[in-house]
């Protein structure tokens, strides 16, 4: 819930920080599938002037979350389509995506940073 409320308090800045951090985290989780957190952030900020890039980035992030769930040994419960639809429902996609990311964190536990994690193929 904080992922939806903190941007209100920080005048929207936290949403950009969160977006960068989750994409960077997904890149670190599975180095076999690199993720450019900067490009994802650029798509939802400056890309908004073109209109399409933010939607593509949000959809692709949903796909990445589902992929990382599979890699962590979980069922792929994150649906990029649901995330996309939630853009238009009070902008609730961050709550949905964060809840799906939390499943990965619960599965992997609180591993120390830079500690190798066994990944599923």
Distance from C-alpha of 100 to C-alpha of 62, rounded to nearest angstrom: 9
- The model's pTM is 0.85
The reported pLDDT for the residue numbered 4 is 64
What pLDDT is attached to residue 32?
87
Decide if 42 is inside a domain: yes
Distance CA 40, CA 70 (A): 21
Examine residue 121 and state whether it is found in any structural domain, yes or no.
no
Would 116 be classed as within a structural domain? no
Kindly give the confidence (pLDDT) of every residue in the chain, 121 residues in length, as a single tens digit, with 9 standing for 90 and above.
667 677 778 888 888 999 999 999 999 888 888 999 999 999 999 998 999 999 999 999 999 999 999 998 999 999 999 999 999 998 899 999 999 999 998 988 766 555 555 565 5
Domain that holds residue 25: 2-108
| Contact criterion met (CB below 8 Å) for 76 and 38 | no
The DSSP H or E segment spanning 84 is helix 80-87
Question: What is the reported pLDDT for 62?
Answer: 96
What is the per-residue DSSP string for 47-67? GGGTSHHHHHHHHHHHHHHHH
Determine, yes or no, domain membership for 119: no
pLDDT at 77: 96
Give the pLDDT score at 5.
74
Instruction: Work out the end-to-end distance of the chain between its first and last CA atoms, rounded to an integer number of angstroms.
Output: 32
- The domain total for the chain is 1
Count CA atoms within 13 Å of residue 31 on its CB side: 5
Q: Look up residue 43 and give its two tokens.
A: 């798509």
Helix%, strand%, coil% for the chain, nearest 5: 65, 0, 35
Q: What is the DSSP letter of 78?
A: -
């Amino acid at each position: 819930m904080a992922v939806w409320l903190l941007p209100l308090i920080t005048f929207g800045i936290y949403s950009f920080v969160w977006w960068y951090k989750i994409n960077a985290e997904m890149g670190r989780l599975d180095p076999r599938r690199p993720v450019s957190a900067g490009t994802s952030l650029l798509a939802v900020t400056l890309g908004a002037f073109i209109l399409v890039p933010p939607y593509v980035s949000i959809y692709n992030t949903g796909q990445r979350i589902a992929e990382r769930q599979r890699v962590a040994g979980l069922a792929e419960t994150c649906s990029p389509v649901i995330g996309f639809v939630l853009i238009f429902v009070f902008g609730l996609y961050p709550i949905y995506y964060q809840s799906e990311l939390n499943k990965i964190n619960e599965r992997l536990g609180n591993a120390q940073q830079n500690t190798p994690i066994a990944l599923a193929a």
